[in-house]
Chains A and B, each alone.
Chain A
């Protein structure tokens, strides 16, 4: 009864705040619902197959891929696609629907709590690395909390990246883990062994601690990318499945492989799941070509050094002008020192326009990286300025709030 009331309250607040144009409504609605019934997420999860997706980078995209993948079963699939990845967002996503399956993006720190509340059928662990320096981001501590929570959830299938030692530590005490060889471009947060005081060494095809037995587990599926860019997922039973995506980049192939294994763990044929994932063109505005007046801009999000490593691989292949927009608002973290962990030197041959609230920090970084650039305080004008150098097409990379600002100002 209380749960029903709370659920109605959530839906009502969501609808009202959407009508008033107060953001996405979900957080406010969920908060009210949780106040009426603190166990609302437990109640809303009962009788559903819930999949949780977490990690530092790729959560939103992978959540979307698992959602469409599970949809191949013909079932309706609920998801928190509007961006709030904390319990109030989860409640809001589930309150309005009777969908028998749900895929929830979860903030790394909230995973233990949400896992307990939802009794999830599966959890996807993508990666763990530094993000938002001013929040004392001790990634090791987060991995330790995942480990304890998953050890206490023996009925949950865990799908985890075998190439990230911190993720392997986090998943390592779970009863059922499907390891995925998804790759790890940024390794600098994983050099200290989480199991002992030793050191992780990365080498051809794997990693291992130099002082204890902690090492890369054997995956059930591994990402293989050919020199021509075509990719497959190689399952340990010998099955090879092509990974054809409209989403660009190696990291999205890895996300898709993790998503396919998650779908398999939930009883959906990976071939069926992958064929629907192949049709996804954008995720919450990421990777879409947006229009700013008559300029066409491909919008991308990179909010930390690990995300930048991956995106630099992607944009380094192109030659259109690049706009980089950096903010340091609350959702970004107030300290943009991480810009010095990004190898911007690789942009030396590109036309670059720097913008965002923290354009001056970025400009100093680019100066020392030897990247000639112009600065423009206003992000939308920066896009126009970049387009002056090209036939109306540019790449744009922003960190979290910078990306969302630009998304809002485009069509």
Chain B
């Protein structure tokens, strides 16, 4: 690749509520630590979306989400760049935006960017809030994903759309099939906050490797992240087992 790797955090002013801006920072740092030149761009919604190799979209409130989607559709850069092979990581409200349609505050449908063949509607029950574990089926050799979800929408993947994986703890897409997230080419969508790349450095490296033209990446010191992963996975599995036991107990 020519020049520095450009990582764009898309509309931090609209999609910056849940700490997902960390994903962009993590990708840039992991590239730099390996000796690649990398540039982190905070792409605010007033300006045209800049050209970049990786686009990161995060979670946001209902109103700002609608504005972000409208801007991205009008601007056109994200769809064009994704079509040309740029990497997209879209989280929560950002995940919903890159689908075909998503609900506004009153449940009314809004047009998405259409990078993933899926639709999101307003959920019936309470918001899905809590820790999530995901067995990854859509990408090879990735360890279990850990994250924190917080969303009211339910996402239905079209037949033939590849989910990122299926939840063993948590709600995920919430369509009843246990799926979580979606994948198409180099576009990855998920409901996981944390931020997701802080808790799952292996996923970060998949995205980086795509953006760097399949380069094999030297290992980094991920001891801190490994300790965090161990703790989250075991804390969540423990709580989950206890919950199941309680339920079985009361059934009897």
Which residues of A pack against B, CB within 8 Å? 130, 133-134, 136, 138, 140, 188-189, 191-192, 197, 199, 334-335, 337-341, 360-361, 363-365, 367-368
- Is A367 touching B127 in the complex (CB atoms < 8 A)? no
| Partner-binding segment picked from B157-165, B179-187, B191-199, B241-249 | B191-199
> CA separation between A299 and B198, bound complex, in Å?
28
A-B contact pairs, 24 of them (CB 8 A): A133-B19, A134-B148, A136-B127, A140-B61, A188-B13, A188-B16, A192-B14, A197-B67, A334-B129, A334-B148, A335-B150, A337-B19, A337-B22, A340-B19, A340-B21, A360-B228, A360-B231, A363-B227, A363-B228, A364-B199, A364-B225, A367-B225, A368-B26, A368-B29
A134 contacts which of B12, B64, B129, B228 (Cβ < 8 Å)?
Answer: B129
**B225, A133: Cβ atoms under 8 Å?**
no
Closest to B19 in A: A337
Which of A197, A335, A338, A340 has most B Cβ within 10 Å? A340
Verify if B124 is at the interface (C-beta below 8 Å from A).
no
A249 to B: closest C-beta gap in Å = 24
| Contact in complex: A368, B25 (CB < 8 Å) | yes
Contact between chains at A337 and B20 (CB < 8 Å): yes
> Which secondary structure dominates where chain A touches chain B?
helix
> Which residues of B does A touch, CB under 8 Å?
12-14, 16-22, 25-26, 29, 45-46, 61-64, 67, 127, 129-131, 148, 150, 152, 193-195, 198-199, 224-225, 227-228, 231
Min CB gap B105→A, angstroms = 9
| In the A-B complex, the 3 residue pairs with the closest CB atoms | A337-B19, A340-B22, A360-B228
Judge whether B25 and A337 touch: CB under 8 Å. no
Chain B, residue nearest A305 (CB): B19
Per a CB cutoff under 8 Å, which of B18, B152, B198 touches A365?
Answer: B198
**Are A363 and B224 neighbours in the complex by a CB distance under 8 Å?**
yes
Contact flag A337-B127 (CB < 8 Å), given A133-B150, A136-B150, A360-B227: no
From A189, A192, A338, B19 is in contact (CB under 8 Å) with A338
Contact A134 B13 (CB under 8 A): no
Q: How far is the CB of A373 from chain B (nearest CB, A)?
A: 10
- Residues on A with C-beta less than 8 A from B228 are 360-361, 363-364
With contacts A188-B13, A188-B16, A192-B14 taken as known, whether A337 is within 8 angstroms of B63 at the C-beta atoms is: no
Nearest chain A CB to B108 CB, angstrom units: 15
Q: Cβ of B12: which chain A residues have Cβ within 8 Å of it?
A: 188
With contact pairs A133-B17, A363-B224, A368-B25 given, residues A337 and B64 touching in the complex (Cβ less than 8 Å): no
